[in-house]
Structure 1
Amino acid sequence: MWSTVLFYIGVILIALRLFKKLRIPPRSKLPPGPTGLPVIGNLFQLPTSRPWLVFDEWMKQYGPIVYLNIAGQNTIVLGTHKTAADLLDRRANIYSDRPDFVVLNLLTGGMHWAWTQADELWRKKRRGAHEAMNAQTAKEYFPYQETESVIMLDQLLADPENFTDHFQRASTSLTLTIVYGWPPLIDSAHPNVLHINRMNQQLLIAAAPGSFWVEFKHFKWMRYLPKWMCAWRRDAENAFNHDSVMFEELSADVQKRMDAGDDVTCVAAKILQETENLFEASWNSVSIYSAGAETTSGQLAWFMQAMILYPEAQLLAQDELDRVVGPDRLPTFDDYEHLPFIRATVKEILRWRGVSPLGLPHRLSEDDYYEGYFLPKDTTCFVNIWSLHHDTEVYGADAEHFNPKRFLDANGNLQSSIVDTKDEGHYSYGFGKRICVGRYIANNSLFIHIAFLLWAFNITAKVDADGNPILPDSLQFNEGLIVRPAPFSCDIIPRKMDVSEIIAQAKADRGL
């Protein structure tokens, strides 16, 4: 009898031991990565400048998945098309959450849907955003985008030195028009614009790794400290209360216009039709605004740098514009299908220097196994998009260079998407269920802005006293989750004598 009891006890103990090994594998089953220190792990090994370049070197040393322990927080960085697609796309059901950002959630009250968990409220908000910005609906905004391009050209004619300011105005004004139905802004220093842009900068800072110690797992206890000890908590809660008042006023103004019977074509109007909760609708609307206001202007800055460094691409684009559009009118969206090189240029600028080389972090919502590695629940997952975009096996030996022709076939037609990128040819818009819902509007804005710029201007490097071109360094960035090129100068010279007259007529036609 006792032998039987001991036998079953032994079986149970062995089973428990095997289960434990399967459930919580040893450290050796985690993906490889740099060796860290006790308690803080790899915290002080995180690069503070251009981390995507450091991660790219780690990929060469450790492989396509690099594991980091950041003060107790399991973190992986994916560095190949295959790993990113396998996990974030094909296993999107468990890779679509966001990390628990303490400060960011205080700043937004947990209402900014781009940063919230993938729960039912998030799905509802995303459905509403998709309805307002899908490929078909995005065509409703063509007239607004063309108008902003006209204003942008006019401002560049008068003040070419401050081209990045004009890009920012165009991006901000268009986003306010699309989201809230505002008329075009000639000056982006409107108080509401400055307010929302300030909030956006706060969110980007709060989401950047290492901004606040309370975000690290071993320091989460700091969230329970008294408020008088935590300036970060007081500041974040005060900002949320202040911001919420203004955002509700913006959406309430849209509702007032709708109630008055006005024809209001904007995202906020579509969202308000889906929900009676003004607070929820206002934060859903501002979430869309904050996602779109920064990115397009940053991509245009990179485009200008590409034109300086790769003048042959500029000449090819201008040849296409001269052939299709001619010298007597501005481009329009009616020219879209006939301008494959311009469309390829949009894809290439988003690949060559996308404004988010690390993307936004995902969180694994349950334990997972992949390629023999154990990936624990709550692991934070980054994709080193920079590595994906500069993969010579996918984009060719010249992946480091700007070359729109990589997206064209032998006949000069836009070819089907490269690898598994949702027909984009790049990963700048993210992955899986978190892919950017505003990508159609963003692509359209870049298309028409670039077409206008190259139709109207030659973009060249400035020269020094000896006549040598002053070329920018395309590996110098302004740091942050959204990266822009380090400040640079260029010459922006009208291509035709009558550019100003054509632009003036376009303004008059639009009542500007």
Structure 2
Amino acid sequence: MLRLLRVSVYLWMFNTLWLAIGVLAILRVFRMLHLRTKLPPGPLGLPIIGNLLQISISRPWLVFDKWAKQYGPIFYLNIAGQNVVVLGTQEAAADLLDRRAAIYSDRPDLIVLNMLSGGMLWAFVQPDALWKRQRRAAYEALSPHTAKEYFIYQETESVIMLSQLLADPENFMNHFERASTSLMLSIVYGWPSIQSDHPIIPHIDQFNREIFAAAAPASFLVDLKCFSWMKYLPRWMCAWRRNAENAFNRDSVMLEMLFAGAQKQMDTGDETASVAGNLLRGTQMKSAFEAARNSATLFAAGADTTSDQLSWFIQAIVLYPEAQRLAQEELDRIVGPYRLPTFDDYGHLPYIRACVKEVMRWRGVGPMGLPHRLREDDYYKGYFLPKDTVCYVNVWSLHHDKQVYGDDAEHFNPGRYLDANGNLVSSVADTKDVGHFTYGFGKRICVGRHVANNTLFIQIAFILWAFNITPELDENGKPNLPDSSQFDRFHSVATSLRAAQTFRR
């Protein structure tokens, strides 16, 4: 009898436990269903794949801009099982990515990108102790004070660029790309200037194309939640895996060679200024391997972006010749015809500095920025944002917000950054005094922004001091103006623009 009673008690306890588990599971399901009703609004999608097929791979920011006008400044997408929110206003981006940076600074796990880079590009990894060490060291190597060490490289490359533009203006894009790559090799690794036929240039171009393509939204199915099972498939079934592994092995040889050269320079007592040298001499890096990874990240970030941005500037001044006239008047007044501009003129050329700000606003090279990921559940303006949600800022929408930049936000107008006396005015709120959002947000803001600003300043000043830029004329003598709606990062604006460059001096 006692034994039967004991068995009955055990059965009751077992059934009660399972009943409690069942109730808790049901309550959790109801809670999740309730919370999903609290998600931001957004377009309806299809079962399983959600909104995947509704997003343009080439220009998602234009689709997102349209949806922001329809659904509001924050809207929700389901991309093959992955929760995604898109922020379309300055207020929402600053509130979440800046003021709540502690929980919005993660990166999504991009499998192909991490395979391409071997997880060594710290701009794309999670904010762990290694990331903090890498970022702190990178900031020290590229701080406003340290950035002055690279003035000589920036002026030298600008002189070479002018010479090439004078000799061969038709291939201006090639000259911009050479100058950008050569400059980053000098700044990061201490290289002397390279010429356009150097064999390392195509390798660097390929490296950057693969990295930035893999970072784009929904580039590979395996990066999407509903298809993440693909990472367990055998290698022979996955071309993406084989290609990524082969690219990593190929690129590792190049990047290790670049860093080894910088380390050899330092070992022989060469005091040539470079990021790699500063990292090796500093106290942040625990090993040469960490310093090599850091150098590769900074090199990848800068090798193409400044040339792309300079190309957009050429297009801007062809479409808006008044900006060119005003900039050249300032250069003629301050610099004159008998010498080139220098960084000593920086404080006296506010219109040129405004041109740098405006081109990065008008056609910034990162119209969608890089994705962030939530570390925990959050609420914003009554909306529920679940943990692991990927968060994009539609920088394009922010930069063309008429409430922030005025009714002419669609146009290139450096004067928006100047007062009636031609002086630079206080910057747009929440932009870290740069006037735009191209450099990112919160703990992920670009550490190389000071060097990038300096490079664009001196290159723009050199070009406008030396040349008049006008559009090519068609057979009827009418200007053949470029199409400013072409945004593909890897589709050179040179395909729609052939500027006639007339030497002014």
Fold shared per TM-score above 0.5:
yes
Sort the Cα spacing of 1:87 and 1:176 in 2 relative to 1 into closer, same or farther, 3 A: same
SS of residue paired to 1:29: coil
Q: 1:213 aligns with which of 216, 221, 229?
A: 221
Residues 128 and 271 of structure 1 are in contact (CA less than 8 Å); yes or no, is this contact kept in structure 2?
yes
Equivalent-residue separation in structure 2 for 1:140 and 1:23 (angstroms):
55
Aligned length: 485
Counterpart of 1:335 in structure 2 is: 345
Report matched runs for 1:302-451 at 5 Å.
Answer: 302-451=312-461
Matched, 1:466 2:476: yes
Q: Kindly indicate whether the alpha-carbon contact (under 8 Å) linking 2:173 and 2:492 is maintained by their aligned counterparts in 1.
A: no
State yes or no: 1:104 paired with 2:113: yes
- Aligned counterpart, 1:90: 99
Alpha-carbon distance, 1:197 to partner: 2.3
- Once the two structures are TM-superposed, the CA of residue 468 in structure 1 deviates from its matched residue by 1.1
Stretch of structure 1 that moved more, 108-117 or 265-274: 265-274
Is the 2:483–2:496 Cα contact (8 Å) retained in structure 1?
no
Whole-angstrom CA distance in 1 between matches of 2:229 and 2:59: 30
Aligned to 2:253: 245
3-state secondary structure, aligned to 1:136: helix
Q: What SS is found at the alignment partner of 2:84?
A: strand
Residues 302 and 485, structure 1, Cα contact 8 Å, conserved in 2: no
- Is residue 148 of structure 2 the alignment partner of residue 139 of structure 1? yes
Q: TM-score, normalised by structure 2?
A: 0.92
**Which residue matches 2:130?**
121
1:297 paired residue among 299, 303, 307: 307
CA contact (8 A) 2:35 2:384 kept: no
- 1:450-461 aligned within 5 A: 450-461=460-471
Given the alignment of the two structures, is residue 259 of structure 1 paired with residue 249 of structure 2, yes or no?
no
Separation of aligned partners in 2, 1:190 and 1:467: 38
Q: Which runs of 5+ in 1 are unaligned?
A: 1-9, 497-512
Pick closer, same or farther for the CA change 1:67–1:368 going to 2, 3 Å. Answer: same
CA distance in 2, matches of 1:98, 1:46: 20
Q: Could you tell me which residue of structure 2 aligns to residue 73 of structure 1?
A: 82
Q: How far apart, CA to CA, are the structure 2 residues paired with 1:103 and 1:85?
A: 30
Question: Equivalents in 2 of 1:246, 1:49: separation in Å?
Answer: 29
Q: Secondary structure at the match of 2:312?
A: helix
Shift in Å at residue 19 of structure 1?
7.3
- In the alignment, which residue of structure 2 is the partner of 1:30? 39
Tell whether the 8 Å contact from 2:369 to 2:393 is kept in structure 1 after alignment.
yes
1-side partners of 2:265 and 2:399: how far apart?
44
Per-residue CA shift, 1:480-507, capped at 9, x if unaligned? 6x985753111000112xxxxxxxxxxx
Matched with 1:4 is none
In 2, the alpha carbon distance for the partners of 1:203 and 1:316 equals: 38
Alpha-carbon distance in 2 for matches of 1:276, 1:12:
48
Superposition RMSD in Å: 2.0
| Cα offset, 1:53, TM superposition | 1.2
Equivalent position amino acid for 1:118 in 2: P
Q: 1:459 to 1:209 in 2, by over 3 A?
A: same
Amino acid paired to 2:40:
P
1:49 & 1:261 partners in 2: Cα distance?
A: 48
Structure 2: state its 5+ residue gaps.
Answer: 1-18
Q: For 1:377-416, what per-residue CA distance to the aligned partner results, in whole angstroms no more than 9, with x for missing partners?
A: 1111111101000000010011011110100011110011
Q: Which amino acid aligns with 1:384?
A: N
Partners of 1:379 and 1:100 in 2: CA distance: 12
Judged with a 3 Å threshold, the aligned counterparts in structure 2 of structure 1 residues 69 and 485 are, in CA distance, closer, same or farther, namely farther
SS of aligned partner of 1:114:
helix
Percent same amino acid at aligned positions?
A: 65
Partner SS, residue 290 of structure 1: helix
Deviations 1:450-507 (A, max 9, x none): 0000000000011122221111111122256x985753111000112xxxxxxxxxxx
Report if aligned partners of 2:308, 2:365 keep a CA contact under 8 Å in 1: yes
Secondary structure at the aligned position of 1:378 is classed as coil
TM-score, normalized by length of structure 1?
A: 0.91
| Residue range with higher mean Cα deviation, 12-21 or 261-270 | 12-21
Please say if residues 66 and 78 of structure 1, whose CA atoms lie closer than 8 Å, have aligned partners that are also in contact. Answer: yes
Change (3 A) 1:14 1:175: same
Closer, same or farther in 2 for the Cα pair 1:452/1:27, shift >3 Å? same
- The offset of 1:284, in angstroms, is 1.3
Conserved 8 A contact 2:188-2:276: yes
Distance 1:371 1:14 in 2: 31
Conserved? CA contact 2:58–2:488, under 8 Å? no
AA of the residue aligned to 1:339: L
Matched residue SS, 2:122: coil
